[in-house]
Structure 1
C-alpha cells in the first residue's frame, strides 16, 4: 500500500536505519504516537517486516524505501520520491550509521569511505534537502544520532569517532542558526547500546563491551524522543556517559586519547 499525502494522521516521520536497533525503537515510538512513517533501510526483508508489524499494531500508514545510503545518489532519490508522492516530512531522524574497528593503517579503505558517506555526507545531504521545507512551513524537528564517541578521539575506531564528532558539531551549529524559525535540531549521543553494532564492527571482545552492562535500544530511543519533543539540543543517555563526555575537556587530550585506546582494546 502506498502512503499518500497526509492521509489519516497528518504527521509524518522519516527514519533512516529503521529496520533494527535504535532506529526500529524510534519507529515504534513514533507509530505509537500516531505518526505516519517513512522507513529507510537497505535490508529489504527486515524493513518490510517492521513496516507490516507497525501498520497492523498502530493502524498508521508506512512507506518503505529500500536504499543503500553509502551510495551518494540515495538522499536525492529519497527526497525526490517523497516530493513526487506529496509526502511532507515533519520529523527527520538521521539514525543510519556504522563503524569499523582496528588500526587505521590496517582497516578497509572501502568500508571507511562508505562510513563517511553514511554517517556524515548522507546525514548532511538529507538535512539540507528536508530542512528548507521545514523552515518555509515554520515547523519541524530533526534528530541526528551521534554517539558519546563524539566528545573525544577514538583510537581503533578513528574514522567512526571522527564522524560522530562532526554530527555533534554540525547539529549544534544549525540548532543555533534555526532559533526562532519553529524548527529544532536535537543530537542524540548514546554510549554503548545493546545492538548488533559491536558484532558487526568486530569489537565485541573489547573492554568497552565485553562483560559490561549496556543501555538497551528502547531506553535510548525513549530518551532521544523525549529530548526531541522538548526541543533540547544535546542529549546524552546515562549518568556515566554524561560525566565522561563533560569531563574530558578538563584533561589533557593525549591522556584522554590513551584512556579511550585502553578501553577500546580487546581483553
Structure 2
C-alpha cells in the first residue's frame, strides 16, 4: 500500500519539486495551496496516483485545523508531512505592512506548528512517520531588512531540532531543510531578486532533491550548497552584531 505525503505550498517552487520527487516514488499525494486551478492541474498529471487537493490559505487563522479535519473526514492517513509553505518580505520592519508581516508569521510559524501538532500523535501511535520543516539559512542569524522573516525561520529550526530529541525512539523523524537563496517565486514575492543574496541562487529542483534525500535518511538538519554551509558555520562563530551587519549587506542591491 502506497504511503501518503501532505505537502503545503505545493503548486510552485520547492513545493512543486517535492511533488515530483514523491510522485516518482509512488507516494499518494495530498496537496495544499491557495491556487485551486494549479492544484487541479497538478492532480491531472498523476492519474496513476491518489491525489487529494485542498485549496487553503494558511495565512488565515484556523486553516491548518481545517486541513487536518478534512483529511480525517476522508479517512486519509498522512505518513509524511512536508511543511513547505512560507514567504518573506524585504524592507524595514516599521515601513512594511504589519498585516502582511502578521500573515507571514501565521504561515511560516503558526500553520507549520499546528499541522505538526495535529498529525504527530497519529505518527507516534503508528511508530512511523517523517516530517520535513522548511526553514532557511536565515535561521542562523538576525536579518536586518527581513527582520520578521529571519525570525520566523529561526523559530522553525529551533522548534524542529527540539522535536528531534523529544521523538527519539518513537519511529518518527524530523528533518529541517535550510536552503539559501533559491530560484523560486519566493524572490519575486519578497522583492529580493535583485539583491546580492540572490546573485548565486541555487536551482529549486537541486535543493528539493537534497532535502528529499535527507528526509528519507532521517537527517536532522540539511543546509544546501557548499557556500551556504560555510556561511552557517561562520554565523556560529561571529558575534551576532557582525552576523546582522553581514545579512544587511547581502540584502542590498547588486
TM-score of the alignment, normalized to the shorter chain, above 0.5: yes
Tell me the SS of whatever aligns to 1:208. Answer: helix
Question: For residue 118 of structure 1, what is the aligned residue in structure 2?
Answer: 107
Query: How far apart in 2 are the matches of 1:230 and 1:240?
Result: 23
How many Å apart are 1:213 and its aligned residue? Answer: 2.8
Question: For residue 6 of structure 1, what is the aligned residue in structure 2?
Answer: none
Question: For residue 19 of structure 1, what is the aligned residue in structure 2?
Answer: 11
Query: How far apart in 2 are the matches of 1:86 and 1:199?
Result: 37
Query: How far apart in 2 are the matches of 1:237 and 1:203?
Result: 19
Query: How far apart in 2 are the matches of 1:251 and 1:239?
Result: 18
Greater shift after overlay, 64-73 or 251-260? Answer: 251-260
Question: For residue 5 of structure 1, what is the aligned residue in structure 2?
Answer: none
Query: How far apart in 1 are the matches of 2:225 and 2:76?
Result: 35
Tell me the SS of whatever aligns to 1:159. Answer: helix
1:244 aligns with 2:231: yes
TM-score computed with the length of structure 1 as normaliser: 0.93
Query: How far apart in 2 are the matches of 1:213 and 1:165?
Result: 22
Query: How far apart in 1 are the matches of 2:243 and 2:57?
Result: 35
Question: For residue 226 of structure 1, what is the aligned residue in structure 2?
Answer: 213
Number of residue pairs the alignment of both structures matches:
254
Question: For residue 184 of structure 2, what is the aligned residue in structure 1?
Answer: 195
Question: For residue 39 of structure 2, what is the aligned residue in structure 1?
Answer: 47
RMSD (Å), alpha carbons: 0.8
Query: How far apart in 2 are the matches of 1:21 and 1:52?
Result: 19
Question: For residue 243 of structure 2, what is the aligned residue in structure 1?
Answer: 256
Question: For residue 65 of structure 1, what is the aligned residue in structure 2?
Answer: 54
Query: How far apart in 2 are the matches of 1:119 and 1:71?
Result: 12
Instruction: Give 1:21-170 correspondences, 5 Å limit.
Output: 21-53=13-45, 55-56=46-47, 59-170=48-159
Tell me the SS of whatever aligns to 2:197. Answer: coil
CA shift digits 1:190-242 (9 cap, x unpaired): 00001111111112221212xx2321111111100100000101000101101
Query: How far apart in 2 are the matches of 1:213 and 1:207?
Result: 8
Tell me the SS of whatever aligns to 1:99. Answer: coil
Instruction: Give 1:210-221 correspondences, 5 Å limit.
Output: 212-221=199-208
How many Å apart are 1:38 and its aligned residue? Answer: 0.3
* Structure 1: gaps spanning 5 or more residues: 1-8
Instruction: Give 1:177-196 correspondences, 5 Å limit.
Output: 177-196=166-185
Query: How far apart in 1 are the matches of 2:204 and 2:196?
Result: 20
Tell me the SS of whatever aligns to 1:175. Answer: helix
Query: How far apart in 2 are the matches of 1:21 and 1:161?
Result: 19
Query: How far apart in 1 are the matches of 2:34 and 2:41?
Result: 13
Tell me the SS of whatever aligns to 1:75. Answer: helix
Tell me the SS of whatever aligns to 1:105. Answer: helix
Runs (4 or more) in structure 1 with deviation over 4 Å come to none
TM-score computed with the length of structure 2 as normaliser: 0.98
Tell me the SS of whatever aligns to 1:18. Answer: coil
Query: How far apart in 2 are the matches of 1:222 and 1:249?
Result: 26
